[in-house]
Structure 1
Amino acid sequence: MITSISDTVQCPLETAEKTRFAGGSLRETLYAFPVDILLEGELGAGKTTFLQAFAASLGIRDPISSPTFTLEQRMTTADSRSFVHLDLYRLAPAEAAAFLHATEEAVDIRCIEWPGNAKEYAWPRPRITIRLDDAAGGGRILQAAFADIPLPTGEQIAEWRSLVHLPQHVVTHCDTVAALASDLAAYLALRGTILRPAALRAAGLLHDLLRYIDFRDGVEPANAPSETTKKAWAPWKDRYADCRHEEACARFLRERGFDALAEIIVTHGLRLPPGRDARIEQKLLYYADKRVIGSCVATLDERFADFHKRYGATPFSSDGAVWYEQSKAVERELFPDGVPL
């Protein structure tokens, strides 16, 4: 049985425009299908506005109707996923449960308004709950609760680090990257971006779990491993001899049932997926990793100056230029008003 921890985020939405922005941002944190999106909140809370923006971000051009007018709408996303909008507002608990049972199969994304009316339904599918409430000072407060992917506990992360004999300087680096990524995520959440703080933190803590697979003798003499450590690393190097540390860590996690976390981590040291395929947690982890030298947060220019000093004219030098440009692109996209940290 896979254990998991909860993952929630809160976003202040002062305007309808910000509600639309939040709705559009949900697409960038979807990892597993099928999935149910549960929309909670009183009449007029902005659920339909949110849902319209979410559907548009998926490439759906059909209008999303107010829940008072229709019980079900079926559509298809730009990447050919089935999308169903359901309204339970006028249904009794037994009717709502029967209605939901009838749409469980062969639907990739179900967006369900008034899920509280389905008191007799067990919610067997992975789900994300979006709740919109009035804020004391005006506008809305959005809370997203993710129950669609498993995440490791802190105890599991510590156990894995010990299991693979992760060196302390890499542990410290991972802790720093996780802290920076978490701070950047908090900044974006305040601006209306829906993301997964717990998943991002776990990815930061684990992203270099098997970093030593790529270690080369003599490159970092200050952190040279002892012969005993080399022997402890050998089984892991042999097991993942055909890949770099990013893919090795991803495989380690997939073997334990944490596929979505593997997806966040696998691109952190290489190149992000193109365009719309990149998830927000992938971008933040990739960017935060490029902002840390050892255990110190630096600018991208400082980080890559250090990179060139370390590796010089090696096969990594051309990769470094690509990583720098992609990191700058992520920085411009996520922080158009300037880097907050």
Structure 2
Amino acid sequence: MIPDIQECLRLMTSTGMLDNIKRHSFVVAKVAKYLGRLLSLYGHPLNIRLIEAGSLLHDIGKTESLVTGENHAKKGAEMVKKVGYDELVPIIENHIRLLDEELEEPVDEVKLVNYADKRVLHDRIVTLEHRFEDLRQRYGNTPEKREWLTEMERKMKKLERNIFQQLPISPDHVLYLNNDFGYKKLKI
């Protein structure tokens, strides 16, 4: 079962998700849904409802993990499994890491949410380069962490090429989603 947006909002609220994490999650959903719809339009069908719910809830475990120190992806996966949303578990559990062998497989909902998350810094859409520079500044306090981030950036750039080789736009076009185009901002 896949929760609708109202159920996602209820879960975000009931778990005490911080407002800044909610805003981040909404922008991740915006990017992931946009790319998912484009990929579907260009012959690579994806489940947009799954992408939306997975994007909105990808950081569902983060607020609690800030206190406990747990891995927020694993914690979030446990949380959605507990309430019966098993289809979301792979997206939430795997939104941080990416294995080399997964890069050889077609783009799916899990990889798309992972990529969209890496394109959003707080509540702004940025380039991968910008996002990873920020990640290095915030989390790259040891040689091992810097090496891991460099490797993750390499993988994300490969995933980005895999996504956009199927589309008539470039990764920079996603930056236009930062514009509101006159729509009211969603209150959270």
Q: TM-score, normalised by structure 2?
A: 0.81
Aligned match for 1:185, one of 16, 20, 36? 36
Contact 2:28 2:120 in 1 (8 A): yes
Q: CA deviation at 1:277?
A: 6.2
1:161 aligns with 2:12: yes
Paired residues for 1:9-88 under 5 Å: none
Aligned length: 168
Structure 1 stretches of 4+ moved >6 Å: none
In 2: Cα distance, 1:253 partner to 1:171 partner: 16
Q: CA deviation at 1:274?
A: 2.8
Partner amino acid, structure 1, of 2:49: A
> Aligned pair in 2 of structure 1 residues 173, 272: CA closer, same or farther (>3 Å)?
farther
> Aligned pair in 2 of structure 1 residues 191, 277: CA closer, same or farther (>3 Å)?
closer
In 2: Cα distance, 1:270 partner to 1:163 partner: 27
Instruction: Report the 3-state secondary structure (helix = DSSP H, G, I; strand = E; otherwise coil) of the residue aligned with 2:59.
Output: coil
Could you list the per-position Cα deviations for residues 170-193 of structure 1 after superposition, in whole angstroms to 9, with x for gaps in the alignment? 000000000110111111112111
> Aligned pair in 2 of structure 1 residues 279, 247: CA closer, same or farther (>3 Å)?
farther
More strand by share: 1
Q: Percent identity?
A: 27
Contact 1:267 1:286 in 2 (8 A): yes
More helix by share: 2
Could you list the per-position Cα deviations for residues 54-76 of structure 1 after superposition, in whole angstroms to 9, with x for gaps in the alignment? xxxxxxxxxxxxxxxxxxxxxxx
Aligned match for 1:246, one of 56, 66, 73? 73
- Return 5+ residue gaps in structure 2 as ranges: 175-188
In 2: Cα distance, 1:302 partner to 1:206 partner: 24
Partner amino acid, structure 1, of 2:126: A
Q: In terms of Rg, which structure is larger? A: 1
> Aligned pair in 2 of structure 1 residues 256, 182: CA closer, same or farther (>3 Å)?
same
Partner amino acid, structure 1, of 2:110: Q
In 2: Cα distance, 1:153 partner to 1:213 partner: 23
Q: CA deviation at 1:153?
A: 2.4
Higher RCO (Cα < 8 Å, 6 or more apart): 2
Q: Cα RMSD (Å) of the superposition?
A: 2.1
1:281 aligns with 2:132: no
Partner amino acid, structure 2, of 1:252: M
